């Protein structure tokens, strides 16, 4: 499978459908986050899933276990391919998320992948310390990834800089979804703190790459996606 997941960080259904049409066939899936979901809601998710798109619903659920379980059941009913929670919600919350996905899928089909966010890619060690986390970023990511694996989750979201730590603790088959993919000059307004290029992240051991602005802000998004995919094949070779 093509590992590129395009972040549809746009405001409207029309913009999202246009972007999806442009990159469809050039990427492996589409990510819908808080901006688009808040604007347009679940109808768009259903529509893209019905068209056969792999939809990663990136809402980062973080609440008591029962509430998160209900949200994951609802996401599963939308037909999403992947859904995420915050690992900092704890072991029981993550276990509840996994169980809810399995129960909602039932005999009707395969459950979505359930993954956990470790440390946001916008945070550095000073930011972690400011909220009372005394571990380094790498230590915190490793601990949360191990907890997610213990909870039965399929993988984690983590910056490309922590892939090696996760692989060492969780093994080769644990899935790692990596945002913070950048190349070339800085993008205005970018708040990502821990980044690598797509090829560097895949070489480090990422499973999937979440890429938004470098593709959608390109003059030719389909070509930009193709060029990134080609760079991954070149890195593998």
Distance CA 79, CA 133 (A): 36
Looking at the structure of the chain, the number of domains it has is 1
Quick: pLDDT tens for 13-59. Answer: 999 999 999 999 999 999 999 999 999 999 999 999 999 999 999 99
At 190 the pLDDT is: 46
pLDDT at 187 over 80: no
Q: Which residues are catalytic?
A: 60
CATH number, domain containing residue 63 = 3.20.20.70
Provide the whole-model pTM.
Answer: 0.92
Query: How confident is the model at residue 237, as a pLDDT?
Result: 58
Average pLDDT, the chain: 92
User: Which range marks the domain in which residue 225 is found?
Assistant: 4-236
Work out the number of other CB atoms within 10 angstroms of the CB of residue 91: 14
Task: Name the packing angle between helices 42-50 and 13-23 (round to 10°).
Answer: 30
For 136-185, how does the pLDDT look when each residue is reduced to its tens digit (9 = 90+)? Answer: 999 999 999 999 999 999 999 999 889 999 999 999 999 999 997 865 44
pLDDT digit string (tens) for 75-132?
999 999 999 999 999 999 999 999 999 999 986 678 999 999 999 988 999 999 999 9
Residue 1: predicted pLDDT? 84
Which ranges constitute the DSSP H helices of the chain? 13-23, 34-40, 42-50, 65-77, 91-105, 125-130, 137-150, 163-170, 198-204, 213-216, 221-236
Contact 70, 96 (CB under 8 A): no
Interaxial angle between packed helices 65-77 and 91-105, expressed in degrees from 0 to 180 and rounded to the nearest 10:
30
């Amino acid at each position: 499978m093509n590992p590129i997941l395009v972040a549809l960080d746009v405001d409207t259904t029309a913009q999202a459908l246009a972007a999806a049409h442009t990159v469809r066939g050039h990427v492996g899936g589409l990510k819908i986050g808080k901006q688009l979901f808040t604007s347009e809601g679940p109808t768009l998710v259903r529509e893209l899933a019905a068209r056969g798109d792999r939809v990663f619903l990136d809402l980062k659920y973080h609440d008591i276990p029962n509430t998160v379980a209900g949200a994951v059941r609802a996401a599963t009913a939308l037909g999403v391919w992947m859904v995420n929670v915050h690992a900092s919600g704890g072991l029981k919350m993550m276990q509840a998320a996994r169980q809810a996905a399995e129960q909602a899928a039932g005999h009707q089909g395969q459950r979505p992948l359930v993954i956990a966010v470790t440390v946001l890619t916008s945070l550095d060690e000073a930011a972690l310390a400011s909220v009372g986390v005394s571990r380094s970023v790498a230590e915190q990511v490793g601990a949360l990834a191990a907890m997610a694996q213990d909870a039965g989750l399929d993988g984690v979201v983590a910056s490309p800089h922590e892939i090696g730590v996760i692989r060492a603790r969780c093994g080769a088959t644990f899935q790692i979804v990596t945002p913070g993919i950048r190349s070339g000059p800085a993008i205005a307004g970018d708040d990502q703190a821990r980044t690598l290029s797509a090829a560097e992240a895949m070489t480090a051991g990422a499973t999937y790459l979440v890429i938004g602005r470098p593709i959608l802000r390109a003059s030719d998004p389909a070509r930009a996606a193709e060029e990134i995919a080609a760079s991954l094949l070149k890195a593998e070779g």
